[in-house]
Amino acid sequence: MRRQIPEVVVSRLPTYLRALALLKSEGIEFISSRGLGARLRMTPAQIRKDLSFFGKFGRQGRGYSVSRLHRELQQILGLDKTWQMALVGVGRLGRAILDYKGFAPEGFKIVAAFENDPNLIGKKVSGVLIEDIAKLETSLKDKKVDIAIVAVPSSDAQVVIDKLVKSGIKAVLNYAPICVRVSRGVRLQGIDPVLALQGMTFYLARG
Amino acid sequence: MRRQIPEVVVSRLPTYLRALALLKSEGIEFISSRGLGARLRMTPAQIRKDLSFFGKFGRQGRGYSVSRLHRELQQILGLDKTWQMALVGVGRLGRAILDYKGFAPEGFKIVAAFENDPNLIGKKVSGVLIEDIAKLETSLKDKKVDIAIVAVPSSDAQVVIDKLVKSGIKAVLNYAPICVRVSRGVRLQGIDPVLALQGMTFYLARG
């Protein structure tokens, strides 16, 4: 595989994968870049260019084989295995995350949860034992956790993320609404409803 | 203001705003595009190019005035007013959203919530009355709702979003993990932790 694939291209692959899964479930076997573009509100040229980083998938006149492209994108995205995740922060948001039914079917499994609230430590929520955050480092290693989900209050988020990185975590999904800094080599994705809203008000304000 | 600003540029403005708010809180008065880029892991050229769509903000050698750029971006993004929001779906995720402390300080206010579960209708959660979803259209108009948040199960999401759009809603924040379709002129943003995770596994799988 070629190196130096732009991050923005990688960030679009999951959306392609999602659309292909939907097409598969609808029983559609082939799709053109134009058809895929219409569904995703993107230009066909953009889709073809993005995919060209990873090889040659389509066939002139026939389009992409939905199931083949779906399978190849899964492989490219590293989704041909199960990823072990740990949750830090089991407040209301953390409990909604533990309860979320969307992770498992996509190969993401929450195998550990951490809290500093003594009332929660030792309890089970959605089948996951809540552990003392003081045991973070050893437990993450024991359970071979790949990815951490951070759902602590904003004031604690940076400290928690620093601890996770120190414990060897290389990917963090952060729900706390702050600008977090991580060292190079660590992936960070923020789930931030306010940023998403602010991207829409620009258009609303213009009518 | 010039027309035809690329969506991807608009989508980055909230991140700039967030970084500027942090700089303000740190008491920093001026920042160069290089300094801002270092914080956001972007090139200074990209930041200058993005901002150039909206006017001339920086001064050679001195950089941007943090408070002025912050104020102007707020205005550009339409954040100099309060936006009224409605939540549809008051399950565990919906309750976490109602409870979320990050909306109000940014000018986003949840003024209505809807459910089809008769056990929830008529109750108050985090100070918001839960209404029968059958009353969606009239209530959205009475309360002058600008933005809808969708936190219903995936199987109901498209139907709910169609109803919202029919009721005149022009912006939807969707938490259901599906490919939703909306008509032109309606803004849609998805909050999707799985897509965010899938953008990181690409890198994890490569070590």
- Kindly list the structural domains of chain B, giving each domain's residue range(s) and its CATH number in brackets, ordered by start: 7-76 (1.10.10.10), 83-195 (3.40.50.720)
B120: left (phi over 0), alpha (psi -120 to 50) or beta: alpha
Q: Which residues of A touch B19 (CB under 8 A)?
A: 179
**Summary mean pLDDT of chain B:** 92
Higher pLDDT, B93 or B107: B107
Cα separation of B112 and B131, whole Å? 8
Substitution target in B100, B198, B203, B206 with the highest count of A β-carbons within 10 Å is B198
Question: Cβ contacts of residue B57 below 8 Å, gap of 6+?
Answer: B51, B64, B65, B68, B69, B72
Comparing C-alpha atoms, which of A116, A84, A119 is closest to residue A103?
A: A84
In the predicted structure, residue A23 carries a pLDDT above the cut 70: yes
Comparing C-alpha atoms, which of A77, A94, A20 is closest to residue B194?
A: A77
Per residue in B177-194, pLDDT (tens digit) is 777 878 888 999 989 899
In the predicted structure, residue A138 carries a pLDDT above the cut 80: yes
Q: Which residues of B touch A190 (CB under 8 A)?
A: 196
Per residue in B123-134, pLDDT (tens digit) is 999 999 999 999
pLDDT at res. A146: 97
User: In this complex, how many residue pairs, one in chain A and one in chain B, have their CB atoms less than 8 Å apart?
Assistant: 173
pLDDT at res. A77: 96
Out of A39, A83, A204, closest to residue B171 by CB: A204
pLDDT at res. B23: 94
Instruction: Find out whether B49 and B15 touch, Cβ atoms under 8 Å.
Output: no
In the predicted structure, residue B171 carries a pLDDT above the cut 90: yes
Q: Which residues of B touch A200 (CB under 8 A)?
A: 147, 171, 173, 187, 189
Question: Cβ contacts of residue A36 below 8 Å, gap of 6+?
Answer: A16, A19, A20, A42, A44, A47, A64
> Facing residues of A100 across strands?
none
Q: Which residues of B95-123 are buried (b: 16+ CB within 10 A; e: fewer)?
A: bbbbebeebeebbbebbbbbbeeeebbee
- Residues A168-179: what's their mean pLDDT? 90
CB contact under 8 A, A204 and B187: yes
pLDDT at res. A62: 83
Question: Which amino acid is present at A51?
Answer: L
Question: Which amino acid is present at A186?
Answer: V
pLDDT at res. B74: 96
SS3 state of residue A25: helix
How many helices and strands (H and E) does chain B possess? 8, 9
Cα separation of B108 and A7, whole Å? 30
In the predicted structure, residue A2 carries a pLDDT above the cut 70: no
Instruction: Find out whether A176 and A150 touch, Cβ atoms under 8 Å.
Output: yes
pLDDT at res. A181: 79
- Residues A133-151: what's their mean pLDDT? 96
Substitution target in A79, A81, A178, A197 with the highest count of B β-carbons within 10 Å is A197
DSSP string of A134-186, one letter each residue: GGHHHHHHHTT--EEEE-S-HHHHHHHHHHHHHTT--EEEE-SSS-----TT-
pLDDT at res. A114: 98
In the predicted structure, residue B30 carries a pLDDT above the cut 60: yes
Q: What is the pTM of this model?
A: 0.82
> What percent of chain A shows pLDDT beyond 70?
99
CB contact under 8 A, A194 and B39: no
Q: Which residues of B touch A106 (CB under 8 A)?
A: 194, 197-198
Per residue in A92-132, pLDDT (tens digit) is 889 989 988 889 999 999 999 999 999 999 999 999 999 99
Radius of gyration of chain B (CA): 20
In the predicted structure, residue B59 carries a pLDDT above the cut 90: no
Per residue in B70-85, pLDDT (tens digit) is 999 999 999 999 999 9
Out of B18, B96, B205, closest to residue A93 by CB: B96
Q: What is the DSSP letter of A61?
A: T
Instruction: Find out whether A103 and B193 touch, Cβ atoms under 8 Å.
Output: yes
CB contact under 8 A, A201 and B79: yes
Substitution target in B200, B203, B204 with the highest count of A β-carbons within 10 Å is B200
pLDDT at res. A140: 97
In the predicted structure, residue B109 carries a pLDDT above the cut 60: yes
CA B100 to chain centre: 13
Q: Which residues of B touch A83 (CB under 8 A)?
A: 197, 201, 204
CB contact under 8 A, B15 and A173: no
Q: Which residues of B touch A187 (CB under 8 A)?
A: 200, 203-204
pLDDT at res. A3: 58
pLDDT at res. B3: 58
